[in-house]
Amino acid sequence: MAERLSIDEVRQVATLARLRLSDEQLQLYRGQLSTILDHIAKLSEVDVEGVEPMAHPSDLTNRLDEDVVGESLPVETVLAMAPAIEAGFLAVPKVLPDQEQA
């Protein structure tokens, strides 16, 4: 079993992940992260000599269909289904902050 992470190490991971954690959360995640690292340590002990690396555990192949142009919906129909419209366009919530013009 690996050595438990210190509170300072967990705080550093939280800082890197840009998370603000309470002292109670730091204690909780300290145990959870230590358990995860223990599992990873166990995986590193597995003998993989002669095992070919693979991208996926199943032998899957992507099936790509041909692009077929189909009939589009009329603009009026799309706008009628939209939850919000502004000046004849679909209105969506703002996701970027206002930026000053240079």
The count of domains in the chain is 1
Let me know if residue 23 belongs to a domain.
Answer: yes
Cα 76–chain centre separation:
36
Give the mean pLDDT per block of 10 residues along the chain (102 residues): 82 95 95 93 91 83 86 94 94 83 54
CATH number at residue 15: 1.10.20
What span, in angstroms and rounded, lies between the C-alpha atoms of 86 and 32?
Answer: 48
Phi and psi at residue 90, to the nearest 5°: -70, 130
Give the DSSP H or E segment for 85.
Answer: strand 85-86
Given this model, what pLDDT does residue 52 score? Answer: 87
Let me know if residue 13 belongs to a domain.
Answer: yes
Specify the pTM.
0.48
Let me know if residue 40 belongs to a domain.
Answer: yes
Let me know if residue 15 belongs to a domain.
Answer: yes
Domain containing residue 22 = 7-44
Given this model, what pLDDT does residue 55 score? Answer: 80
27: Cβ contacts below 8 Å, ≥ 6 apart: 7
